[in-house]
Structure 1
């Protein structure tokens, strides 16, 4: 639920509902209702204001698992694969180098 995620990130930021509402320029009553799941469909603009103040991406408020990587069919990428890709990225492997490796591997398997 969005409200539960808002509350989680607000508390992690060490903010009260009043503080977050004031900083984001939103109604405290609406924010409170959202956190208590009385309101369940906030606008993207509302969530963008909250996310900006919480220093997070809107995805972290909308998605249950914002770091999940999915393929073009919407299937989740195995976490181990996702970690391998992240490791390659952080070690300096470029997209082109990764593509070259995949092409080489395909060629090698055909031999």
Structure 2
């Protein structure tokens, strides 16, 4: 089930396995095995890495009923933020400064 969710979410985001692998730091072969349900017991660390790149919570990978994540525009913005190397702490500071 987790593999199906990873593949489905990755494809929704028009992302290749290679791209997900490069951005998450999880081996391409591992992601492929996960998506084909050959690997059925990934660690939380692996799920966190994948979920971060897919802009979702780990819960969304584990539970089909969980929040499906952000809309596409927010997802693109967050990917731009991560690509620019902005940390979570910097984002929190930015948000706090705006309040």
Same fold per superposition (TM over 0.5): yes
Q: 1:64 Cα deviation (Å)? A: 2.2
Map Cα deviations across residues 12-35 of structure 1 (whole Å, 9 max, x no partner).
111000100110001100000000
Residue matched to 1:6: 6
Q: Distance in 2 between matches of 1:30 and 1:40?
A: 11
Q: 1:60 Cα deviation (Å)? A: 0.6
Q: Distance in 2 between matches of 1:30 and 1:6?
A: 12
Taking only aligned residues, the RMSD between alpha carbons, in angstroms, comes to: 0.8
Q: Report how many aligned residue pairs link the two structures.
A: 67
Moved over 4 A (4+): none
Q: Distance in 1 between matches of 2:38 and 2:57?
A: 23
Map Cα deviations across residues 24-70 of structure 1 (whole Å, 9 max, x no partner).
00110000000000000000000000010010111110112115xxx
Consecutive unaligned residues in structure 2, runs of 5 or more: 68-99
Higher relative contact order at CA 8 Å, sep ≥6: structure 1 or structure 2? 2
Residue matched to 1:72: none
TM score, norm. by length of structure 1:
0.59
Residue matched to 1:102: none
Higher Rg: 1
